[in-house]
C-alpha cells in the first residue's frame, strides 16, 4: 500500500511563481498541489479547509496581511497544516518573524527543485528545513546573543531605514520616543557605530535588515 499524497497549498501573489512551483512539485511522486492562493488572507482561509498538509508561503503579498502574519493565523488552529516559507528574502528582519509565527521551514526561491521537494516532505513530517544562509545566522545568534540585535531592535532599525524619525518610529511600534532612543543606543553599541546611517548600512551588510 502506497503512502497518501502530501497535499499542498501554494501561496504567492505572483501567478508565474505559483505556476513554477506547481510545475516543479507535481513532477515529484507523492506531492499534490490541491490549491493556490494569491493573497495571504486567501491562504489562511484555504488552509482552514482541512485538506492541506503543507502550505508553501511567500512573505510579501503587497497590501494586507503578510506571510508571517498568515503563518501565525494558520498555525494557531488545532490540527493546522505545516507552513514552509518560500521567499527571496533571508534577512533577520524577515526570518525571525516567520519562524516565531510557527513556520516549520524556511527556504529561498533559488533552491534547486530537489531541495524544495525534500523540504516539503520534511515539513510534512513535522521536521525543520532551513536555507543554509538562514541557519548560519540563527546559529550565530545563539553563539553570541549579547552582540546580536533583538527582534524589537530590528523592528526599530527597519523603520529607521525607511527614514522615520524617532517619534514616528515610536508611534508605529507603540513605544515612547525615549524608548526608541534607548533601543538605538543599544543598536549603536552592538554594531559599533555612532549614527543612524552607519547603523542601517552595517545592519544591511550583515543581513540583519533587507537591502
What is the model's pLDDT at position 1? Answer: 46
Q: Which residue has the cell 547603523?
A: 199
Kindly tell me the burial class for residue 187, based on how many C-beta atoms sit within 10 Å of its own C-beta (0-12, 13-18, 19 or more).
Answer: buried
Distance, C-alpha 35 to centroid of its chain: 21
| Range list of β-strands (E), the chain | 6-11, 31-37, 54-57, 82-87, 105-108
What is the model's pLDDT at position 3? Answer: 67
Indicate if the pLDDT at residue 42 is higher than 90.
Answer: yes
- For residues 93 and 208, is the Cβ–Cβ distance under 8 A? yes
Average pLDDT over residues 70-91: 94
- Residues 23-32 pLDDT 10s: 999 999 999 9
Indicate if the pLDDT at residue 112 is higher than 70.
Answer: yes
Average pLDDT over residues 167-172: 95
Indicate if the pLDDT at residue 12 is higher than 60.
Answer: yes
Q: What is the pTM of this model?
A: 0.84
All structural domains of the chain, each given as residue ranges with its CATH number in brackets, are 6-140 (3.40.50.2300), 151-205 (1.10.10.10)
Kindly tell me the burial class for residue 186, based on how many C-beta atoms sit within 10 Å of its own C-beta (0-12, 13-18, 19 or more).
Answer: middle
- For residues 208 and 149, is the Cβ–Cβ distance under 8 A? yes
Amino acid at each position: 500500500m502506497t503512502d497518501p499524497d502530501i497535499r499542498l497549498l501554494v501561496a504567492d501573489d505572483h501567478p508565474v511563481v505559483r505556476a513554477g512551483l506547481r510545475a516543479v512539485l507535481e513532477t515529484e511522486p507523492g506531492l499534490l498541489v490541491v490549491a493556490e492562493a494569491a493573497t495571504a488572507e486567501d491562504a489562511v482561509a484555504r488552509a482552514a479547509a482541512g485538506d492541506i498538509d503543507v502550505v508553501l508561503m511567500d512573505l510579501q503579498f503587497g497590501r494586507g496581511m503578510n506571510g508571517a502574519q498568515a503563518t501565525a493565523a494558520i498555525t494557531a488552529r488545532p490540527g493546522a497544516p505545516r507552513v514552509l516559507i518560500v521567499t527571496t528574502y533571508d534577512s533577520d528582519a524577515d526570518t525571525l518573524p516567520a519562524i516565531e509565527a510557527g513556520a516549520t521551514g524556511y527556504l529561498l526561491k533559488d533552491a534547486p527543485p530537489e531541495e524544495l521537494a525534500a523540504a516539503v516532505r520534511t515539513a510534512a513530517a513535522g521536521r525543520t528545513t532551513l536555507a543554509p544562509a538562514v541557519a548560519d545566522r540563527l546559529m550565530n545568534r545563539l553563539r553570541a546573543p549579547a552582540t546580536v540585535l533583538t527582534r524589537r531592535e530590528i523592528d526599530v532599525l527597519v523603520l529607521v531605514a525607511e527614514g522615520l524619525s524617532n517619534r514616528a518610529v515610536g508611534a508605529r511600534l507603540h513605544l515612547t520616543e525615549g524608548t526608541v532612543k534607548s533601543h538605538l543606543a543599544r543598536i549603536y553599541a552592538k554594531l559599533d557605530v555612532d549614527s543612524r546611517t552607519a547603523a542601517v548600512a552595517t545592519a544591511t551588510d550583515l543581513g540583519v535588515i533587507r537591502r
